[in-house]
Structure 1
């Protein structure tokens, strides 16, 4: 029954997220509020009060009191409930929702969401009230009819992230010695350094798992095992998702031709790009651009 309750909670939250790109909800349960230790398709910020054992990538921490947690869909995490229950708030969102008008920086580069970063912050009573007020505002806006509520909610998320930058992270986050974490971190850093693409004169250079393995001076099988172990996604999946994300941004925010976008992303022929984009999104680049207008 307990596992069934967890499944129902997660399914309902994720269903709404896929429709809107965002979901905020209160937490008041004795059931584990975080999904199992696996990958997800959304980012998560939650503020909860209770005691939990949080595992994130190859690290773990036991936290008690009120804390703020940042979850990255590229990094597996889990939480074991150690108290009678948890109360608080959580919001789920896609990177596209948060960065609909800005390609300048990926969330994976944020100190809260990247491998090696610290995703947990213990809050004071003052900080708890301030962050709680932000969540309450997001809850109200989520149900409101305001035409620009997505922009307002997006600003609330950014405000929460900036406030967290001011907090002092806990120093008892223990790190397990794991070479896979180091390799996965290097891979993700190299992947993000290729973006955003500013011009067709400098097309994407690293396009395959083998390309990254060569740069990192490791065997491609070793790279694939490390990335899968830490992120629960294949190296090729990370690359494909990042290319598609950049393709959508270029199609939406530039006036480049489809051929120019294809070339900038490392495709020799536009037809290869068209087939690649349609296979991963179910849509052609041209129809995506027309729908985004």
Structure 2
């Protein structure tokens, strides 16, 4: 995993004082100002910081296991749990990006960026912007850029508000059917289940073990019958409890196979499989490939 300190050191050969000495650990940059620096292609790895980018140009972003071709003006959100990378920037690329750690929103602001619906939706957090929307987003980045380079004592409070506005603008632009509401019991239970499931990831170390893996384990934690949990999930998402669990295990298995040097046996064990044969059978059923071959392709 790349830390925010390593990001600064390899990206800019420096660690800005306003990152090193402020509790916020935030900074913002113009993409075009980085084009004169010779940079290696970013590795497809997890970082330990959040990133929001206004990208103007053409490129291919790899987000988790998805490849997204972007052109024109695009707003992208990167979560530290999900590996990402992109192709080298061209000379006509423009835009902004900001980076920050979870701690930036702790304290009085208390925006739980980890659990925003933006990262709990089936839709990737990548938004093609209209001309008017791009102006609105660019204005927020301009304000952040101005404040981060200023001396106002409360500048980070302003910046937190601007960054929050970017998140909530994006959630407003998401299709309503992809944002869970808390209106009834089925939806509340669905959200609790999804949070429990996601809180177990990413798996950081090969010695980590999943706490909940079976439908009845989740049901017991939520204090409901497993059949009721299944009915709620089926009603709200169209998928069963087992389907959600298997799909999430499959996604994490793919990430670990591609982006760690752990053995297949270690990955199998960390994901809670009884033995390697069981994991191999599961993975082939989900992907059509055995784990060893998937790692090579």
Normalising by the smaller structure, the TM-score range is 0.5 to 0.7
Pair 228,142 (structure 1): closer, same or farther in 2 beyond 3 Å: farther
CA contact (8 A) 1:51 1:81 kept: no
Greater relative CO, 1 or 2 (CA 8 Å, sep 6+): 1
Determine which structure has the larger strand proportion and give its number: 1
Moved over 6 A (4+): 30-34, 222-225
Residue 36 (str. 1) matches residue 43 (str. 2): yes
What's the offset of the Cα at 1:42? 0.6
Report the CA distance between 1:11 and its aligned residue. 5.3
Give 1:92 shift. Answer: 0.4
Output the CA distance in 2 between the equivalents of 1:33 and 1:132: 27
Distance 1:123 1:33 in 2: 28
- Do the aligned partners of 1:44 and 1:90 also contact (CA within 8 Å) in 2? yes
Equivalent in the alignment of 1:143: 149
The 8 Å contact of residues 51 and 64 in structure 1, kept in 2 or not, is answered as yes
Deviation at 1:133, TM superposition (A): 1.2
Partner of 1:65: 72
Query: What CA RMSD, in Å, does the superposition of the two structures yield over aligned residues?
Result: 4.2
Closer/same/farther in 2, CA of residues 73 and 13 from structure 1, 3 Å limit: farther
Q: Which runs of 5+ in 1 are unaligned?
A: 1-5, 170-185, 195-207, 238-293
User: Taking structure 1 as reference, are residues 168 and 191 closer, same or farther at Cα in structure 2, changes over 3 Å only?
Assistant: closer
Match of 2:134 in 1: 128
User: 1:76-155 counterparts in 2 under 5 A?
Assistant: 76-81=83-88, 83-103=90-110, 106-114=112-120, 116-155=122-161
The residue aligned with 2:209 is: 209
Q: Distance in 2 between matches of 1:138 and 1:228?
A: 38
Asked whether the equivalents of residues 11 and 39 of structure 2 are also in contact (C-alpha less than 8 Å), the reply is: no
Equivalent residue of 2:69, what SS? strand
Q: Alpha carbons of 1:106 and 1:132: their partners in 2 closer, same or farther (altered >3 Å)? A: same
Q: CA deviation at 1:26?
A: 0.8
TM-score by length of 2: 0.55
Pairing 1:1-293 to 2, within 5 Å after superposition: 8-9=10-11, 12=14, 17=19, 19-20=21-22, 21-28=25-32, 29=35, 35-81=42-88, 83-103=90-110, 106-114=112-120, 116-167=122-173, 189-190=195-196, 209-214=209-214, 215=217, 227=252, 229-230=254-255
Instruction: State how many pairs are aligned.
Output: 201
TM-score (norm 1): 0.55
Shift of 1:22: 0.3
